[in-house]
Amino acid sequence: MTEVPDGEGMTQALARTVEKARGKLGEEEGAKLAAVMRALCLDLTDIGAKYYVVFDESGAAGFSTEDPGTSQMLTITTTAVVFHKMATGESNPAMEFAMRKVKMSGVPVPKLARVGGNLIDTLFECYRSSI
C-alpha cells in the first residue's frame, strides 16, 4: 500500500487531483455536474478535514478548503485511509459503501449517476497520479 498522505499532504494531493480532473472532464461535463450540484465535499473524518470541489454553470471547477455555503452539495464522508485505498484500487468502493465506511448525502445518488458519469473514476485516476 502506498502511504496515506497526512493532513497537509492530503490537501496538496487533492488540489493537484482537482486541477488534473478539471482538464480531463472538460467544461461540458463540469456544466452538467453544476446543474445537479454546486459542490462536492469530501469529509475525511480521521484527519478532521473537509475538501470541496466547486462547480459553476460555465463548466469550471475549483478546489477549496472553505465551505462554499451551497445547499446543492454532495457530501462524501469517510476516512483518509478508506478514501486512499479506494482511489488507489486497494479496496472496492461499492464494498466500502456497503460496509458503511463511506456515506453520501445531499444529492440523490440516482440523480448524480445520470450526469456524474465518470466523475469518481476520474478523481481516483487523477489522485493516483497526484500522490
Per-residue burial over 13-38, b if 16 or more Cβ lie within 10 Å, else e, is bbbbbbebbbeebeeebbbbbbebbb
pLDDT digits (tens, 9 = 90+) for 8-31: 999 999 999 999 999 999 999 999
Show the cell assigned to 128.
493516483
Tell me the domains of the chain and their CATH numbers: 7-128 (3.30.1050.10)
DSSP-derived secondary structure for 22-65: HHHHHHHHHHHHHHH-SEEEEEETTTTEEEEEEE-TTS-EEEES
Global confidence as pTM: 0.93
pLDDT digits (tens, 9 = 90+) for 78-128: 999 999 999 999 999 999 999 999 999 998 877 777 777 689 899 999 999
Pairwise CA distance, residues 33 & 25, whole Å: 10
pLDDT digits (tens, 9 = 90+) for 42-80: 999 999 999 999 999 999 999 999 999 998 899 999 999
Q: Please report the pLDDT score of residue 107 as a whole number.
A: 86
Pairwise CA distance, residues 101 & 19, whole Å: 27
The rounded mean pLDDT for the chain is: 93
Show the cell assigned to 82.
478508506
Q: Please report the pLDDT score of residue 47 as a whole number.
A: 97
Residue that is written with C-alpha cell 487533492 in the block:
14
Backbone angles phi, psi at 88, to 5 degrees: -90, 0
